[in-house]
């Protein structure tokens, strides 16, 4: 194993220090993750096929089992010790779970976790797509670990991981800022394209192409994203958990919502702007005023030690005062970064959220009003918490 091991070229000492604290506070000796976002969290490397496995020891040292054809990517983005494993190739028909068996046993022995209290991801989670197709280990990985580590105590560490993902390091904030910056090109192209007679499909494709052609920053490996367009009555449906571009042709006076999730090396944004096709009506201007005020009230409330429910209340009170309480159908926001669109991402900016804001947390603020069968307006920004209050990362 040692012969082929390589050391990643990136660094994030802040993240490694927090990892040491988390393992200690969870009364664990280590953590093992195979979901792509949590491999990213532990190692800086965002797997492509989600077949990598990251193992963190109590001292913060991390080892990642990496499919050989992802080693180059892993080296450039990670600070971990990287152990490549061979894909099945022409010599065998093995599945990934069979392919990792031997190298995983060797790594676990090497890092001294044979009798460890080892934290695993066993509960429900939300994963951004790291590629068009992804591996799922399902129950096969806990089962393999049970076989390989008969003397270890395997424990859920999902909660610890959710807390770790909530607070970003300076390096991670930089990547999120970059993912916001590159999204701007897509929104500008959409704003230019929106007019009566254009279809949602055409507007979204125009925004997507502008984004796709924006050069990636030097040093960044993967800059991805998707743009969506929802107009008129379809914008009313945008309160759903997902966005969807349809074939509808935009009409004069429609509200037209452009939604995007973009990412820089696995760190995701969540951004929405709403435009009017043609001249905004008085009614449109009134809704926009309410949403702007609600956004402002939320931003003014954000600072360390405030709770998610306080921020939600600030925005919701404004919407209610404008008579739009019932139309503001979802929470004011949720944690964003390691996932783009997870309503349970921490901190939850929700009427019932006990989550306490801390410096470095990132989430969206998305006041909105949806009118069934008619239209919808949402303004969604990505925010980070600084010691002085909210900073808008999507400030374009």
Query: Interface residues for a second copy in 257-286 (CB under 8 A)?
Result: 261
Q: Supply φ then ψ for residue 31, to 5 degrees.
A: -135, 150
In the bound state with a second copy, the residue whose beta carbon lies nearer, of 135 and 272, is 135
14-43 positions binding a second copy, by CB under 8 A:
35
Q: How far is the CB of 283 from a second copy (least distance, A)?
A: 24
Question: Which residues lie closer than 8 Å to 55 by C-beta, 6 or more apart?
Answer: 30, 31, 32, 62, 63, 64, 65, 107, 108, 111, 113
In the bound state with a second copy, the residue whose beta carbon lies nearer, of 71 and 108, is 71
In the bound state with a second copy, the residue whose beta carbon lies nearer, of 124 and 282, is 124
In the bound state with a second copy, the residue whose beta carbon lies nearer, of 3 and 352, is 352
191-220 positions binding a second copy, by CB under 8 A:
201-202, 204-206, 208-209, 212-213, 215-216
Q: Is 233 in the site for a second copy (CB under 8 A)?
A: no
Where does this chain touch a second copy (CB under 8 A) — which range of 164-172, 271-279, 298-306, 336-344? 336-344
- 228 token code pair: 């969506």
Do 278 and 252 form a contact (C-beta atoms < 8 A)?
A: yes
- 141 token code pair: 């990985």
Q: What residues form DSSP beta bridges with 119?
A: 31, 155
Task: Find tokens 């909210």 and name the residue.
Answer: 390
Candidate list 183, 331, 361, 365; residue touching a second copy; CB under 8 A: 331
342-361 positions binding a second copy, by CB under 8 A:
342-344, 348, 350-353
Do 44 and 80 form a contact (C-beta atoms < 8 A)?
A: yes
138-177 positions binding a second copy, by CB under 8 A:
138-140, 142-143
- 173 token code pair: 């904030």
In the bound state with a second copy, the residue whose beta carbon lies nearer, of 59 and 159, is 159
Where does this chain touch a second copy (CB under 8 A) — which range of 77-85, 116-124, 171-179, 369-377? 116-124
Where does this chain touch a second copy (CB under 8 A) — which range of 6-14, 24-32, 74-82, 131-139? 131-139
296-315 positions binding a second copy, by CB under 8 A:
none
Number of residues counted as binding a second copy (CB under 8 A): 71
Give 318: exposed, middle or buried? Use CB within 10 Å, 0-12, 13-18, 19+: buried
- 165 token code pair: 């993902």
234-253 positions binding a second copy, by CB under 8 A:
237, 239-242, 244, 247
Q: Is 226 in the site for a second copy (CB under 8 A)?
A: yes
Candidate list 1, 97, 106, 356; residue touching a second copy; CB under 8 A: 97
Cα–Cα dist 119/33, whole Å: 8
**β pairing state of 271-276 and 255-264:** antiparallel
Closest CA to 171 of 219, 118, 226: 219
- 89 token code pair: 């190739």
Candidate list 59, 69, 102, 192; residue touching a second copy; CB under 8 A: 69
Candidate list 2, 3, 93, 279; residue touching a second copy; CB under 8 A: 93
In the bound state with a second copy, the residue whose beta carbon lies nearer, of 201 and 392, is 201
Give how far the C-alpha of residue 141 lies from the chain's centroid of Cα atoms, to the nearest Å.
24
Distances (CA, A) of 181 to 174, 245, 385: 11, 23, 18
């Amino acid at each position: 194993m040692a012969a082929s091991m390589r050391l990643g070229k990136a660094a994030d000492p802040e993240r490694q220090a927090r990892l040491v604290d988390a393992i200690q506070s969870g009364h664990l000796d280590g953590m093992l993750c195979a979901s792509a976002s949590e491999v990213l969290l532990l190692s800086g490397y965002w797997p492509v096929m989600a077949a990598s496995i990251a193992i963190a020891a109590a001292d913060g040292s991390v080892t990642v089992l990496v499919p050989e054809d992802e080693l180059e990517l892993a080296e450039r983005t990670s600070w971990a010790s990287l152990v490549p494993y061979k894909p099945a190739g022409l010599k065998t028909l093995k599945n990934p779970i069979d392919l990792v068996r031997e190298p995983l046993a060797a790594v676990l022995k090497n890092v001294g976790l044979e009798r460890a209290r080892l934290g695993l991801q066993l509960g429900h989670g939300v994963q951004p797509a790291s590629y068009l197709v992804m591996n799922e280990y399902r129950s096969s990985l806990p089962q393999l670990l049970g076989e390989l580590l008969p003397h270890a105590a395997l424990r859920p560490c999902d909660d610890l991981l959710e807390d770790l993902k909530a607070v970003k390091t300076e390096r991670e904030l930089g990547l999120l800022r970059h993912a916001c910056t590159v999204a701007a090109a897509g929104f500008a192209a959409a704003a230019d394209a929106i007019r009566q007679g254009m279809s949602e499909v055409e507007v979204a494709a125009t925004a997507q192409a502008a984004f796709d052609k924006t050069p990636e920053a030097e040093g960044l490996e993967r800059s991805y994203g998707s743009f969506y367009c929802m107009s008129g009555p379809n914008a009313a449906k945008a309160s759903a958990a997902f966005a969807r571009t349809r074939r509808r042709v935009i009409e004069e006076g429609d509200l037209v919502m452009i939604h995007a999730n973009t990412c820089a090396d696995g760190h995701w944004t969540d951004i929405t702007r709403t435009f009017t096709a043609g001249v905004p009506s008085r009614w449109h201007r009134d809704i926009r005023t309410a949403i702007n005020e609600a956004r402002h009230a939320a931003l003014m409330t954000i600072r360390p030690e405030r709770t998610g429910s306080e921020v939600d209340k600030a925005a919701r009170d404004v919407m209610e005062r404008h008579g739009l309480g019932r139309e503001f159908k979802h929470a004011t926001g949720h944690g964003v970064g390691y996932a783009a669109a997870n309503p349970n991402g921490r901190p939850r900016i929700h009427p019932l959220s006990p989550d306490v804001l801390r410096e470095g947390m990132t989430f969206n603020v998305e006041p909105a009003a949806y009118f069934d069968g008619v239209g919808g307006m949402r303004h969604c920004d990505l925010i980070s918490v600084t010691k002085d209050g909210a900073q808008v990362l999507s400030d374009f």
